[in-house]
């Protein structure tokens, strides 16, 4: 059973320490920036504090990433729902013919909504692709990658090597395009 958590500060970094039946020291950063550390019951506090201090740069970068994501989520999207739908439909019309043999004559239903953690999703059984409205703010090359990625799910309903083979066959530079989303 874990012991009661302790609040500890090490070189300006405050963290919650929980002693557990674990072999290694583990650290997590929550979206609100709080740091949680799990450590073996007999591990000295000095060793844990040294571990946290060594990770100070990583902690600050993680906190900055979370803060940036919170700002993006709070900011209104530059594109209206209809504008985003127009962009995604236009690009979808380019990639649909590549997968028409799998889809028959009926194009998939395209939907747009604000999503927190995804750029797109595909439900092959419903013949439906949903795009994050904020994707419309990204470079066209990134949007094309997400559209193709979602269409590729009609060929492979997972992220197996075969799936990535389908993506690479139609878009050899997909990894560079994917980086544009970061």
DSSP secondary structure letters along 144-160: HHHHHHHHHTTT-SS-S
Report the C-alpha gap between 71 and 65 in whole angstroms: 10
- What pLDDT, on the 0 to 100 scale, is given for residue 112? 97
pLDDT tens over the chain, length 182 residues? 667 888 888 888 999 999 999 999 999 999 889 999 999 999 999 999 999 999 999 999 998 888 877 766 556 778 999 999 999 999 999 999 988 887 776 889 999 999 988 999 999 999 999 999 999 999 999 999 999 999 999 999 999 999 999 999 999 999 999 999 98
Using DSSP's 3-state secondary structure scheme, residue 115 falls into coil
The H or E element containing residue 170 is helix 161-170
Query: In CATH, which superfamily holds the domain spanning 81-179?
Result: Metalloproteases ("zincins"), catalytic domain (3.30.2010.10)
Query: Domain-by-domain residue ranges, the chain?
Result: 6-74, 81-179
For residues 16 and 37, is the Cβ–Cβ distance under 8 A?
yes
- What pLDDT, on the 0 to 100 scale, is given for residue 52? 94
pTM of the model: 0.63
- What pLDDT, on the 0 to 100 scale, is given for residue 2? 61
């Amino acid at each position: 059973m874990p012991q009661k958590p302790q609040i500890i500060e090490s070189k300006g970094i405050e963290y919650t320490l929980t002693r557990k039946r674990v072999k290694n020291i583990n650290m997590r950063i929550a979206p609100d920036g709080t740091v949680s550390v799990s450590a073996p019951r007999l591990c000295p506090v000095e060793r844990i504090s040294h571990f946290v201090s060594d990770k100070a740069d990583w902690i600050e970068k993680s906190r900055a990433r979370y803060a940036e994501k919170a700002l993006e989520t709070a900011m209104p999207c530059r594109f209206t729902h209809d504008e985003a739908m127009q962009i995604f439909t236009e690009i979808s019309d380019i990639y649909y013919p590549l997968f028409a043999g799998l889809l028959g004559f009926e194009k998939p239903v395209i939907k747009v909504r604000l999503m927190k953690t995804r750029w797109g999703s595909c439900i092959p059984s419903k013949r439906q692709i949903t795009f994050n409205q904020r994707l419309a703010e990204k470079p066209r090359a990134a949007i094309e990658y997400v559209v193709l990625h979602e269409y590729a799910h009609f060929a492979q309903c997972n992220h197996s090597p075969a799936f990535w083979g389908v993506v690479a066959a139609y878009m050899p530079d997909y990894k560079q395009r994917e980086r544009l989303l970061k």
